[in-house]
Amino acid sequence: MSEITAPIETRPEEPSHTAGRWIRDNLFSSVSNTIQTVVFSAIVLGLLRWILGQVFSEDADWSSVATNLRLLMSYNYPTEQFVRIWVAAAAIFLMLGLSLGAWGIDPGFSVRRSARTLISTGVFALVVRLLLPSSTPDAIAMAMIVIGVVAIVIGGVVMRAVPKSSDRRVSFTAALGVMVGLVLAVVWLVPFGSYGVAEGERYAVPGVTVASSTKVPWTIVLLLVFFAQILGRRLGVSVGSVIRRSIVAFWVIGPAFIIFLVLRDPSFDWAHVWSTDVPMAAAFALGGGALLYALGRPGRDDLARVVGALLLALALFHWVAAFFGWYPMLQKARISFLLIALAVLLVPTFAGERSARVRFAGAWVGFMVVLHWLITGINTPSTLEISAPPFLGGLVLTVGIAYYVMLVSFPLGVLLSLARTSKMPIFRVMSTTYIEVIRGVPLITVLFFFSIMLPLFLPRGMGISDLAAVFAGYTVFSAAYMAENIRGGLQSVRRGQYEAADALGLTTVQRTTLIVLPQALRVSIPNLVGQAIATFKETSLIAIVGGFDLLRIANSTIPNQPDFLGQKRPGLLFISLVYFVVAYTMSKSSQRLEARLQAGQAR
Amino acid sequence: MTDNPNAASVIQLGGRPPIWRNAAVLKWTVQFAVLIAVLGVFWFLIAEARTNLSAKGIPVGYDWLDDPANFQLAEGIQTVDSPERRLTMSRALWVGMVNTLRIAALGIIFATIIGVIVGISRLSKNYVARRFSSVYVETLRNIPVLVQIILWLAILGSLGKLTADTGPIPGWIIISQKGISLPRVFLADGFYQFVSLLIVLSIGIRFISRSWRRRQEREGGDQRVGLKTFGLFVVAVVVSWIANPVMGFLGPIFDAISDGWGAIPQGLMQTLLSVVAIGAAVAWIKRFLNSRRTPAGMAKLIDDDWFRMVFAGVASLIGVWVLWRGWPGLSSWMVNSGSDFWGVLGDKFGDGRGAMPFDAMRPTLSEGRFVNYGDTGLTLTVFYAALFLGLVFYTSSFIAEIVRGGILAVPAGQSEAAAALGLNRSQALRKVVLPQAFRVIMPPLGNQYLNITKNTSLGIAVGFSEIVQVGQTVYNKNSQTLAVFSIYMIFYLACSLTISLVVNSVNRRLAIVER
Provide the residue ranges of all domains of chain B, joining segments of one domain with +: 7-55, 65-183+362-510, 196-348
B398/B393 Cα distance (integer angstroms): 9
Q: Which residue of A has its CA nearest to B130?
A: A40
| Lowest mean pLDDT, pick from A336-345, B76-85, B477-486 | B76-85
CB B298 within 8 A of CB B305: no
A353 and A489 within one domain: no
pLDDT (tens digit per residue) in A66-77: 777 878 887 777
Check whether B332 has a pLDDT greater than 90: no
User: Which residues, 6+ apart, have CB-to-CB distance to A206 below 8 Å?
Assistant: A191, A193
* Domain-terminating residue out of A347, A380, A413: A380
* Domain-terminating residue out of A380, A407, A429: A380
- Across the A/B interface, how many CB contacts are shorter than 8 Å? 158
* Domain-terminating residue out of A349, A380, A411: A380
A488 and A584 within one domain: yes
Residues in B 78-137 with any Cβ partner in A closer than 8 A: 121, 124-129, 132
Q: Which residue of A has its CA nearest to B494?
A: A440
A368 and A402 within one domain: no
pLDDT at B188: 76
Look at B151 and A572 and tell me if their CB atoms are within 8 Å. yes
A364 and A486 within one domain: no
Average pLDDT value over all residues in chain B? 83
pLDDT at B203: 93
Residues in chain B: 515
- The residue among B143, B392, B152 whose CA lies nearest residue A575 is B143
Domain membership flag for residue A264 = no
pLDDT at A4: 43
pLDDT at A133: 84
Residues of chain A scoring pLDDT < 50: 1-10, 383, 386-388, 603
- The residue among B179, B150, B176 whose CA lies nearest residue B387 is B150
B305/A59 Cα distance (integer angstroms): 74
A530 and A561 within one domain: yes
Q: Which residue of A has its CA nearest to B9?
A: A302
DSSP state of B202: H
A336 and A293 within one domain: yes
Check whether B377 has a pLDDT greater than 80: no
B137/B115 Cα distance (integer angstroms): 9
Domain membership flag for residue A256 = no
pLDDT at B190: 79
Residues in B 50-79 with any Cβ partner in A closer than 8 A: 51-53, 55
User: Which residues, 6+ apart, have CB-to-CB distance to B29 below 8 Å?
Assistant: none
pLDDT at A8: 47
Q: Residue A588 sits in which domain range?
A: 386-603
pLDDT at A456: 77
Q: How confident is the model at residue B195 (pLDDT cuts 50, 70, 90)?
A: confident
Q: What is the ipTM of this complex?
A: 0.82
* Cis status of the peptide bond prior to A107, with omega within 30 of 0: no
Q: How confident is the model at residue B1 (pLDDT cuts 50, 70, 90)?
A: very low
DSSP state of A12: P
pLDDT at B132: 92
**Where does residue B352 fall: left (phi above 0), alpha (psi -120 to 50 degrees), or beta otherwise?**
left
Q: Which of A426, A449, A456 sits opposite B53 (nearest CB)?
A: A456
Residues in B 446-475 with any Cβ partner in A closer than 8 A: 454-455, 457-458, 460-461, 468, 472, 475
Domain count within chain A: 2
- What is the pLDDT averaged over residues B397-424? 90
B469/B464 Cα distance (integer angstroms): 7
User: Which residues, 6+ apart, have CB-to-CB distance to B27 below 8 Å?
Assistant: A424, B304
Helix then strand then coil, in percent of chain A rounded to 5, is: 75, 0, 20
CB B229 within 8 A of CB B212: yes
pLDDT at A103: 84
Does residue A446 sit at the B interface (CB-CB below 8 Å)? no
Check whether B351 has a pLDDT greater than 80: no
Domain membership flag for residue A591 = yes
Helix axes B145-156, A569-601, angle to 10 degrees: 150
A558 and A588 within one domain: yes
pLDDT at B3: 46
A439 and A366 within one domain: no
B65/B90 Cα distance (integer angstroms): 5
A373 and A473 within one domain: no
Domain membership flag for residue A94 = no
CATH (domain of A486):
1.10.3720.10
Does residue A399 sit at the B interface (CB-CB below 8 Å)? no
Q: Where are the alpha helices (DSSP H) in B56-126?
A: 89-121
Chain B partners within 8 Å of A59 (Cβ): 158
Does residue B147 sit at the A interface (CB-CB below 8 Å)? yes
Q: Give strand pairing partners of B68.
A: B88
Q: How confident is the model at residue B180 (pLDDT cuts 50, 70, 90)?
A: confident
- The residue among B149, B121, B148, B146 whose CA lies nearest residue B133 is B121
pLDDT at B9: 46
Q: Which of 3.40.50.1220, 3.40.718.10, 1.10.3720.10, 1.10.1040.10 is the CATH number of B65-183+362-510?
A: 1.10.3720.10
- What is the pLDDT averaged over residues B108-130? 91
A409 and A375 within one domain: no
| Lowest mean pLDDT, pick from B20-24, B333-337, B424-428 | B20-24
A292 and A406 within one domain: no
Does residue B24 sit at the A interface (CB-CB below 8 Å)? no
pLDDT at B475: 87
Look at B6 and A301 and tell me if their CB atoms are within 8 Å. yes
A396 and A374 within one domain: no
Q: Which of A538, A576, A580 sits opposite B151 (nearest CB)?
A: A576
